[in-house]
Amino acid sequence: MNFLSNSEQFKTLDLGRLGYGDALKIQEEQFKAIFDAKRQGVHHELSTLIFVEHNPVYTLGKSGDESNIKQNPETVGAEFYKTSRGGDITYHGPGQIVGYPIFDLEQFNIGVREYIWNIEQAIINVIDQFGLKGDRISDASGVWLDSDTDAARKICAIGVKASRYVTMHGFAFNINTDLGYFDHIIPCGIEDKGVTSLEKELSAKQDIEAVKNLVRTAFNKVFRISK
């Protein structure tokens, strides 16, 4: 584990390339530390934004529909996990920035709805720097391109869990992602919209570490700890 920086807002922890199960254990440890501190009434500065790049894996949200999995994950060389987050089926893999904010939302003086809005806004601000206009869709979380057209496509998926205003799980931002893996599922259970990546939109492979730095900066601007 590598703590990239300490900011006044939150810590940033980069796990590098790591399997989903191992990253989940780290998430749960970070989550439990904050949850226990709050339950005991102990002041803490434990909110952490975790970055990770997973090996190929499909994850299903707690209310997800397994019928949205069109092909056995093992046959395409991917793992499969049922999770406690919201949302349906999605894919994580190399070339994708997965972010797990383990945040105490009471420190930021926001609720879950604003929290999700803030994540979307941070990603919208990042892709704007590449000349792309990100949008929201009212009935589907995440960041979309051309959201009001037949060419609507998602570049960042979001699925979270919150207990006592402590969050885990998070977002998956497609940078140089192999989008072929999405062909084996109905992403997020939405059949009439596509999936895209920064590489596909810009017709060039991107420096994922540079984009990660932009995401970290965008999060620091959007999330401000309430003093």
For tokens 């420190």, name the residue. 107
DSSP secondary structure string for all residues of 130-173 = TT--EEEETTEEEEEESTTSTT-EEEEEEEEEEETTEEEEEEEE
Contact 186, 68 (CB under 8 A): yes
CA Rg value for the chain: 17
For tokens 């084996």, name the residue. 184
Any idea what DSSP says for residue 54? P
Active-site position among 60, 122, 143, 188 = 188
Alpha-carbon span 110 to 159, nearest angstrom: 17
- The contacts of residue 191 (CB under 8 Å, 6+ apart) are none
- Catalytic, 188? Answer yes
Q: Which residues are catalytic?
A: 188
